[in-house]
Amino acid sequence: MAITRIVVKENYYRDSLQLMKISGEVKGLDGVLEAAVLMATSTNKEILSRLGFIDPQIDKSTDDDMLVAIRASDEESASRAMKAVEEMLIRGTGPSEFERAPDIDSALDMLPDANLALISVPGDHVREIAMRLLDRGVHLHVFSDHVSIEDEVAMKRYAAERGLLVLGPGAGTSIINGKAIAFANVVDKGPVGIVAAAGTGLQETSSLLDLIGIGTAYGLGVGGNDPKEQVGGIMTIESIKVLEGQPDVEVIALVSKPPSPTVQDEILNYVFERTRKKYAVAFIGGKDVRISSVHIDRVKQARTLHSEVLLLAKMLGDDHYERALRELNVDVEGIVERELSRLEKNQRYLRGLYTGGTLAYEAQVMLGDYMDDLYSNAPIRSTRPLVDPFKSERNTIVDLGEEEFTKGRAHPMIDPMVRRLRITDEADDPDVAVLLLDFVLGYGSHDDPVGALIEDIKEARRRAEEGGRYLSVISHIVGTRKDPQSYEGSLEKLRSAGIIHMPTNALAVLVAGAVASRGSLPLQGIYERFLEVGC
Amino acid sequence: MLSSTKLLGEELKVLNIGLEIFYRALKDQGIRVVHVEWSPSAKLEEELEEILDKLT
């Protein structure tokens, strides 16, 4: 008979990554069947209930409390596990060789010429830390979410007056001097500079460029709010200024969801009037930008990240463009036909489970005009909102990085738990035809994003097979062969499990959409609209 | 503008405030980095100490 122990530690905080590590270590102890150590947020309570931990103590706990839940084969193992948790909470999980400082002043004493601070503390505390660092002349990359717009504007104005950059808040990715900051891929240095208000957009663009042999010198993530009306694109324009001044940057990519109309005008006017370099503009999901004949040779636009990369290659020369076309060329029709032939009649829905927000967004932009029953927890334009983000309807694109899934938990690029549970749910729905999955490699991400899910995918397919149907799985890896995780190893895991891998997210969306719609999607039309580059 | 060029094209020297995973990622790339200890409770203690200092 299994023993369950639940302990609530009131007003007790550790960050979600430390807790994920502790949970993993305790789960590996002898006699422990399940273990979860987490902050008592609503998302985490949902996870606990899915893991079979149901207790009134859990219901009563609040966001500021920590929950320790252990299921063990016997009393002794449960007690040993509890003791291990306590020890790890006191000791911490970081290795002792960390060069640590107790506060910012001491850190600046240790590193007086620090030129960048990477901030990932809870959003409410960011402004105070940021202002102190800006006063000391330090540029900032603010990874934290949940920073108020007022704080963001105050920090960015203050920084701009001092010639400093504030990348973020909510900046998942930057590449500075060829180095990966926060979630970023290892790419060669080269002639491209990227300004992105879309983290995974920067990762996809820089990784695809690397795949076709084009390097990125700088990728500046300005945070998703920067192009909104209230912030006014302050750091987008500051970043453009900085990249314009860099002799090693030849072409500049602007990657963003559509800015607010006035901000879009300001950014483009700046580009038209105040810059000299070449620009590839991808305001994904936005209306086409009017570019006058004076600037048309220098400023061009793309509708997806796929076509943005083709455009950048074209701007850098015919050799690059031809290689890009070769590398990104796949037999879309052949794959769709093969997958369709294996489906049962009732299977007609797509379930996209994304860890990359920009990729989930791109999927909606591409499919929105062609699927009238498309749902999402982060809906855009014609997409319908999910009533319950934890439950898919008809065709669904889920952004698992949204707040409802991450409150008190690590991002799904690091912690696969939420997606693992969701894959099982989707596979058990007999109407589902296709799972669409992204896997993001690079610094910051899980050690083995594909390996962390592969057994769940195989199990999901086994269950579907028992139900007499084939489950099509279409995937895309955002990554490079230089990333800390093995790109080839990840590909091999997918291939050996019969999972289809596409070289870009846009291609994966196209294939998945075509399969789910039973071939009724206008493949050629979508391809021309979203994946090709105009002259 | 002048100040920003000290970041781009210069050797990176980073203060990491928050998640330890980023310290390791920076270190693995050979970047000089100092991890700043931070937790809300530590901040509260700091504030408490400051208040106590004023009282004594």
Of B14, B32, B40, the CB nearest to A117: B14
Max alpha carbon distance in chain B (Å)?
48
What is residue A96's predicted lDDT score, i.e. its pLDDT? 56
Which pLDDT score is estimated for A426?
95
CA dihedral over A446, A91, A82, A13, signed as positive or negative: negative
Q: Which of A54-68, A69-83, A300-314, B1-15 has the lowest mean pLDDT?
A: B1-15
Provide φ and ψ at A34, rounded to 5°.
-155, 145
3-state secondary structure of A129: helix
For A:198-237, CB contacts with B below 8 A are 218
Please determine, for residue B56, whether its predicted confidence score (pLDDT) is greater than 80.
no
B53 touches A: beta carbon within 8 Å: no
Burial class (CB in 10 A: 0-12, 13-18, 19+), A297: exposed
Interacting residues of B35 by C-beta distance below 8 A, sequence separation 6+:
A94, A98, A99, A100, A101, B16, B20, B23
**Which residues on chain B are in Cβ contact (under 8 Å) with A17?**
19-21
Q: Do B22 and A182 touch (CB under 8 A)?
A: yes
- How sure is the predictor about B1, in pLDDT bands with cuts at 50, 70 and 90? very low
Q: Which residues of A touch B28 (CB under 8 A)?
A: 443, 484
ω into A169 cis (within 30 of 0): yes
- Six token digits for residue A484: 């800390």
pLDDT at residue A286, as a whole number:
84
Q: Which of the 8 DSSP states describes residue A535?
A: -
Q: Where are the domains of chain A?
A: 3-91, 171-327, 332-531
Please give the CATH architecture assigned to the domain spanning A3-91: 2-Layer Sandwich (3.30)
Helix (H, G, I), strand (E, B) or coil at A204: helix
Same fold, A3-91 and A332-531: no
Please provide the average confidence, as pLDDT, over all residues in chain A.
Answer: 93
Q: pLDDT value at position A137?
A: 94
Nearest by CB: A218 against B8, B38, B43: B8
Range of the domain at B13: 4-55
Please say if the pLDDT value at position A347 is more than 90: yes
Q: Are A177 and B12 in contact (CB < 8 Å)?
A: yes
For residue A479, the surrounding DSSP H or E stretch is none
The position carrying tokens 């791109």 is A362
- The mean pLDDT of A350-370, rounded to a whole number, is 96
Asked if A111 is an interface residue toward chain B (Cβ–Cβ < 8 A), one would say: yes
Provide the pLDDT confidence category of residue A359 given band limits of 50, 70 and 90: very high
Q: Please give the C-alpha separations between residue A73 and each of A29, A54, A65, A495, in angstroms, as whole numbers.
A: 11, 18, 26, 37
3-state class (DSSP) for residue A44: helix
Confidence class of residue A465 from pLDDT cuts 50, 70 and 90? very high
Which A residues, 142 through 171, put their C-beta within 8 Å of a C-beta on chain B? 143-144, 162-165
Say which of B4, B14, B35 has its CB closest to residue A242: B4
CB contact under 8 A, B35 and A218: no
**Which CATH code, of 1.10.10.60, 3.40.50.261, 3.40.50.300, 1.10.3720.10, is assigned to A332-531?**
3.40.50.261
- Read off the pLDDT of residues A115-162 as tens digits, 9 standing for 90 and up: 999 999 888 899 999 999 999 999 999 998 889 999 999 999 999 999
Residues whose CB is less than 8 angstroms from the CB of residue A525 and which lie 6 or more positions away in sequence, other chains included: none
Q: Please write the tens of the pLDDT for every residue from B25-41.
A: 999 999 999 999 887 65
Do the beta carbons of residue A222 and residue A197 sit within 8 Å?
yes
CATH for the A171-327 domain, from 3.10.20.70, 3.20.20.140, 3.40.50.261, 3.40.50.2300: 3.40.50.261
Whether complex ipTM tops 0.90: no
Find chain B residues with C-beta within 8 A of A177's C-beta.
Answer: 8-12
Q: Model confidence over A297-313: pLDDT tens digits?
A: 999 999 999 999 999 99
Describe the crossing of helices A149-161 and A234-244 by its angle, rounded to 10 degrees.
30
Average pLDDT over residues A187-197: 97
Q: What's the total number of domains in chain B?
A: 1
- Listed in sequence order, the residues at least 6 apart from A85 whose beta carbon sits closer than 8 Å to its beta carbon are A22, A26, A35, A37, A68, A70
- Whole-angstrom Cα distance, residue A378 to residue A399? 7
How close does chain B come to A390, measured CA to CA in Å? 27
Give just the sign of the alpha carbon dihedral A119, A124, A128, A131.
Answer: positive
